Amino acid sequence: MRKQIAAANWKMNLTFQQGEKLLDDILDAGINLSPDQQVIFAVPYPYLLMTRSEVEDAANYEVAAQNCSDKISGAFTGEISVEMLHSIAVNYCIVGHSERREYFTESNSLLAEKINRCLEYRITPIFCCGESLAVRESGKQNEFVQTQLGESLFHLNAENIKKIIIAYEPIWAIGTGKTATAEQAQEMHAHLRSILAAQYGQEVAQAISILYGGSVKANNAKEVFSGPDVDGGLVGGASLVASDFKEIIRSLK
């Protein structure tokens, strides 16, 4: 069975003390995960070691970086390499979040290099894809996400593509007042899996976890996660509220 994952993306939020308290509140709930379930905390760089320490005794709880450089090392002030992440035992990294694409103009080809760097250091990428409102309204969302996957992932062989976690972000439903239904989430997840199957075969496609990243909340997580191709969520704002994120964890299949 594919991993069912609740991934928290804190983005640029919380002080060190607030983050530590949030983790304590979530972990103290004693939510026992099955072998097929996983919780990942993607926290700001200064909190990686603290978070790793907090989760090290909790089975199936992990820590992720929110971004990494496509370069191995060098004169790139302010950047963080995957070698640095690997050296502190960070095993996951978000790659290609919609905010990185929009605000920092990260291209599909750049993200392909970040994917390569992660895999070289045995770091699992959480690769984000998804369409804007303009693309959705033009009816070209299927072709758009297929291009994202093709240009950033399809240079990988079958063995390596199975090491990727994919997160679908319906950018058109985030902060626009529009809402993506559970049916729309399942529809796109099924499409993404069909793209993977066409490239790598059904067995490989069925092994890859695909998360939903469109404003998952405590009151809709169970419904959204019920889709057969929806393997959990990449959660933003709701992951900053302990009671909400605990409910989201409990909603995993």
Q: pLDDT tens-digit profile of 85-138?
A: 999 999 999 999 999 999 999 999 999 999 999 999 999 999 999 999 899 999
- DSSP assignments along 47-81, one per residue: GHHHHHHHHTTSTTEEEEES---SSSSSS-TT---
Catalytic residue among 97, 99, 106, 131: 97
Q: pLDDT tens, 184-225?
A: 999 999 999 999 999 999 999 999 999 999 889 999 999 999
Q: pLDDT tens, 31-88?
A: 999 999 999 999 999 999 999 999 999 999 999 999 999 999 999 999 999 999 999 9
Return d(Cα 20, Cα 132) in angstroms, integer: 34
232 near 9, Cβ under 8 Å? no
Return d(Cα 251, Cα 57) in angstroms, integer: 22
Catalytic residue among 54, 131, 169, 189: 169
Domain chopping of the chain, boundaries: 4-250
pLDDT value of residue 177: 59
Nearest to 231 by CA among 192, 197, 200, 199: 192
Question: Is the pTM of the predicted complex or chain greater than 0.85?
Answer: yes
Return d(Cα 253, Cα 231) in angstroms, integer: 8
Residue 175 pLDDT class (50, 70, 90 cuts): low
Is 97 in the active site? Answer: yes
Q: Is the pLDDT of residue 179 over 80?
A: no
Residue 1 pLDDT class (50, 70, 90 cuts): confident
Is 189 in the active site? Answer: no
The CATH code of domain 4-250 reads 3.20.20.70
Residue 168 identity: Y
